[in-house]
Chain A
Amino acid sequence: MRNTFLILCCCFQLVDLCSAVGQDSVLSLMQKGDKGKWGIQLDLQEKQTFDPSNFKVYTTKEWSAQHQAGQAIAGRTEQLSEQSWAFIPHFPFTEGMEYVAFYPGVKLLKVQIPKADYPLTDVIAIYPNQDTIPENLLKMYLYFSAPMSVGNSYKHLHWYSGKGDTLNLPFLQLEPELWNEDRTRLTLWLDPGRVKRDLIPNQLLGGPLVNGEHYVLQVDQGWKDRQGNPIKNEMVVQFAVGRLDRNKPKPNSWKLLQPSAAGQNPLILQMGDILDYALLQHTITVWSSQEQQIAGRVQVNQEQTEWHFYPDLPWASGDYYIKIDSKLEDLAGNNLNRLFDVDLQTQKQENEPQAYHYLPFTIK
């Protein structure tokens, strides 16, 4: 008798539960705004009470392994209307990934986040871009057409000898990776422990580059951009290695080609030395004798041996000067004040370091 009563109770409870949740309660994929974040929407039948602790979303992988006992995705719930709530994950859902949304008594939702179309990203330049680089090259720059992913960069770089043998990557695998602000330029350092004279890595392995040898750098296509898509094309560049550069750039020996007044021809500095492409973009500025900076656009020639300055307005006749930040480096990391590595036994007395170097000129 007692058992029958219990069964009846259970039946009533089930009926009660079914009628409360009903067929109208539904889980669905939603998007906040036009291109806003993805979330999961829960519409409950009238009068059904909402318990946020029961509204859970899982990755399909986690749900398949452990169902409700698995680790649910962290997020927050928002009320959309009287009987409607949204689950917004703390970390945005990944495009192309599958998720499972759960609420007791509501049909489970299995959903894949749609993938948007993005233009493919390409490697647009590698600097230095000369055929021959110095044996003590310190840095390289990779430029991309759009923001890249972060964290796996070194896996997509490959280094070969001129004969095609795979070599160890000569770059220091830094964390953090040295990206610019919008992650379209990556700076690579050739392992300074091997470049610096007499350090143990240098003693044991020698420098990463050997004079007279050829090397090939390959950027593979598996490197993903910020959207998770592989880059458009692989890039392969070949370098020959020339002799060491142990000289500081000397602005006083640079040749200045000055334009005439009233025109907008460029002011040209011929440096006679290959300088760092990235630093050349902003370490040299032009000023009038009245301390006004002249607005204009900088262009560096293909060989990185000339700096061209195109003024926004025609040149006015008068006295000017070029201001060069001493941080400007050549390819071997020698800047205007100091050499990359100094041999204290042979080094002559250095001049006092100065923050800037100045080159005056007159427009006639």
Chain B
Amino acid sequence: MKNFYLLVLFVGLVALTHVHANNEVEDLTKDFIVGDPGIESINALAFGPSGILFVGDAQKANVVAIDTKDTDTNAEVGNVNMNKVDEKIAALLGANVEDLQIIDMAVNPLSQNIYFAIRHSNGTPMLIKTDGESMEVMPMDKVSHSKVELSNPVAEDAKDRRGRALRRWAVSDVAYHDGKLMVSGLSNEEFSSTFRSIPFPFKTKQMHASLEIYHAAHGRYETYAPIKTFMPFELNGEAHIVASYTCTPLVLFPMSEVKAGEHTKGRTVAELGNRNTPLDIIHIEKDGASFFLMNNTSRPVMKIAVDEVAAYKDYLTEPVKGNSMTAGVDYISLPYVNVLQMDKYGDGVLMLQRRSNGDLALFTTNKNRL
């Protein structure tokens, strides 16, 4: 009998949680419409809550939030080990492998399904979903979605004679944190920073002034610093952004200091070597400590202790000499080279790696090995 009560209580709790989860999805997607969002390019992917996928479209200068309805949390977090991913994608799309590029990869934290943004050299974007075994194309012409424009008001933007916008904001990264979508973008004309924080769900009319973020070199020279890659995270209970500028160093600033129209300076916490730019930054917990992992254009995956970043109070004051060409917070190089894409997968990490034999492999790594 006692067991029966427990069962009733359990079923009730499950039902309540389910209702709560459904309400949350409904609240977030109540302004979504079903149709073709007109995505022309996919430059960045990020998952928000409830299986909502944010798609940064540089060609259209907007971000589309898609309700993937991929919210099944029952899936077991297994190991992924898929080889020749690019050839599988080429076969699925019926295209030449050399014409395709994997632009971004995001793991749905609920279902653990993996999403790839693919671009054909003629510019056509495709979204592909895999559970680590089979692959499918996600049609983008009839989806439940909502979108937000990133261009300036039309009247302010110049058009050419065919009515096309001349200035464009190329989306370089998107991330969701605590009710806000953050977007970094590069201008195809001015050298300036366009880091935006946009409340989600998107409103029809909203202000999202671009933020002025500066980079101070050794306390002396100061320039605008467009952000290439970034990740929001909590540090000592406060929201922070860790970012990489187009000019390579790793910078940190609290979200509270980032205000529209204000002159915000990122605190440089590490230089990561010459001709090297982080591609993705993720955050993992291991043995009660937290770490950043970064895959890079020309260095192995790096691991940096968040505690060290938090404790690092100074700007880098002296130019760094010598061969290491790095400075600031220390990092450990992990034995993973040529990692093109990386995301969290369960409490481990999923990597897309170009192997020395030329194969493109997708695999999971247990956090104990990181």
Report which A residues bind B (CB closer than 8 A): 57-59, 61-62, 70-74, 89-94, 97, 99, 138-139, 147, 149-152, 172, 174-176, 178-183, 185, 187, 189, 191-193, 196-201, 203-205, 224, 226-228, 276, 278-279, 281-283, 327, 329, 333, 335, 338, 340-345
Asked if B94 and A176 make an inter-chain contact with CB atoms under 8 angstroms apart, the answer reads no
Encode B158-194 as 1/0 by CB contact (under 8 A) with A: 1000101111101110000000000000111111100
A89 vs B326: C-alpha distance in the bound complex, in angstroms?
49
Q: Please name all residues of chain A whose beta carbon is closer than 8 Å to the beta carbon of B286 when the two chains form the complex.
A: none
A174 vs B248: C-alpha distance in the bound complex, in angstroms?
12
29 A-B contacts (beta carbon < 8 Å): A58-B91, A59-B95, A71-B91, A71-B92, A72-B92, A73-B93, A89-B94, A90-B126, A91-B94, A91-B126, A94-B95, A94-B96, A150-B119, A152-B121, A180-B166, A180-B188, A183-B123, A185-B188, A189-B191, A193-B247, A201-B248, A201-B275, A203-B319, A278-B166, A282-B167, A329-B191, A340-B224, A341-B221, A342-B222
Could you say which of B164, B218, B223, B249 has the most chain A C-beta atoms within 10 Å of its C-beta? B223
B50 in contact (CB, < 8 A): no
B367 in contact (CB, < 8 A): no
Asked if A180 and B164 make an inter-chain contact with CB atoms under 8 angstroms apart, the answer reads yes
Could you say which of B120, B126, B219 has the most chain A C-beta atoms within 10 Å of its C-beta? B120
B9-17, B106-114, B132-140 - interface stretch: B132-140
A181 vs B167: C-alpha distance in the bound complex, in angstroms?
9
Q: Please name all residues of chain A whose beta carbon is closer than 8 Å to the beta carbon of B123 when the two chains form the complex.
A: 147, 149-150, 183, 226
Could you say which of B123, B126, B320 has the most chain A C-beta atoms within 10 Å of its C-beta? B123
Q: Nearest CB to that of B316 among chain A residues?
A: A200
Q: Please name all residues of chain B whose beta carbon is closer than 8 Å to the beta carbon of A200 when the two chains form the complex.
A: 248-249, 271, 274, 319-320, 325-327
Asked if B247 and A199 make an inter-chain contact with CB atoms under 8 angstroms apart, the answer reads yes
Closest CB in chain A relative to B102 CB, distance in Å: 10
Q: Please name all residues of chain A whose beta carbon is closer than 8 Å to the beta carbon of B124 when the two chains form the complex.
A: 91-92
Chief secondary structure at chain A's binding surface: loop
Q: Please name all residues of chain B whose beta carbon is closer than 8 Å to the beta carbon of A333 when the two chains form the complex.
A: 191
B43 in contact (CB, < 8 A): yes
Q: Please name all residues of chain A whose beta carbon is closer than 8 Å to the beta carbon of B248 when the two chains form the complex.
A: 193, 199-201
Asked if B88 and A71 make an inter-chain contact with CB atoms under 8 angstroms apart, the answer reads yes
Asked if B139 and A90 make an inter-chain contact with CB atoms under 8 angstroms apart, the answer reads yes
Q: Please name all residues of chain A whose beta carbon is closer than 8 Å to the beta carbon of B122 when the two chains form the complex.
A: 149-150, 226-228
B220 in contact (CB, < 8 A): yes
B359 in contact (CB, < 8 A): no
Asked if A73 and B186 make an inter-chain contact with CB atoms under 8 angstroms apart, the answer reads no
Encode B181-210 as 1/0 by CB contact (under 8 A) with A: 000001111111000000000000000000
